[in-house]
Homo-oligomer: A and B are copies of this chain.
Amino acid sequence: MIKKLALLFPLAVLLFAFMPVKKKKVIFFGDSITQQGAQPGGYITRIEDLCKKDGLSDQFDFVGKGVGGNKVTDLFLRFQPDVLDQHPDIVVVYVGINDVWHKTSSGTGTDFDKFGKFYDAIISTLKKQGIQPIICTPSVIGERNDFTNQQDGDLNLYAKWIREYAAKNNVPLVDLRNLFLDYLRQNNPTNAEKGILTVDRVHLNEKGNQLVSEAMWKAIKQFK
């Protein structure tokens, strides 16, 4: 019996070599930044380019599932149809800006404790279903680098929670907020509130999309 299997082994290897690789499906789950990310020049499009450059185009499929104005509760409500029913292998969750921003722009932000509960409901379900989550801290609302943007305190708080959640639950983290803050400390000498990484304090310009794409791709390609 063992002999026969031994004979079969090289054959199996040979077969696999010619079998089409099952591509990994990566879903980007988020708000308007992610919605724009799927457009030409957007961060998802740039990740496709980086993937190609690394010769890994046959291993990954990238799908944008961003909807403008979304908060964590919106992600939760469309989690089944937009994520689980699509059978992804990897899900990159990039949310939190509207949860904080809407507190003053419409009075319907997300309470800190509930942000964590809905966030965890999403990530826990992904893990239970064998889907790899990658999570991100919210980037910026305003680019001033001396913590004088109105929502800086809250963004820091929600980002800190995500960092701690990632560590505690062993989830890969793309720390966009720290990445942005570091970049702005060095590249925003006039303390402008937009125009460095964003066009309007929130939505990414070319440089912002590039920064996000590089950080995310680094995290994603570990799962090749």
Contacts and interface: CB of A to CB of B under 8 A. Distances in A.
A110 B108 CA distance: 5
A29 B121 CA distance: 22
A114 B74 contact: yes
Contact of A157 (B102, B105, B148): B148
Chain A at the B interface: SS class: helix
How many interface residues does chain A have, given as a range? 20 to 34
A103 B114 contact: no
A102 B107 CA distance: 7
Contact of A149 (B73, B74, B103, B153): B153
A59 interface: no
Most buried by B among A107, A110, A118, A151: A107
Interface of A: 73-74, 77, 102-111, 114, 117-118, 142, 146-154, 156-157, 160
6 contacts: A103-B108, A107-B108, A108-B108, A108-B111, A147-B156, A153-B154
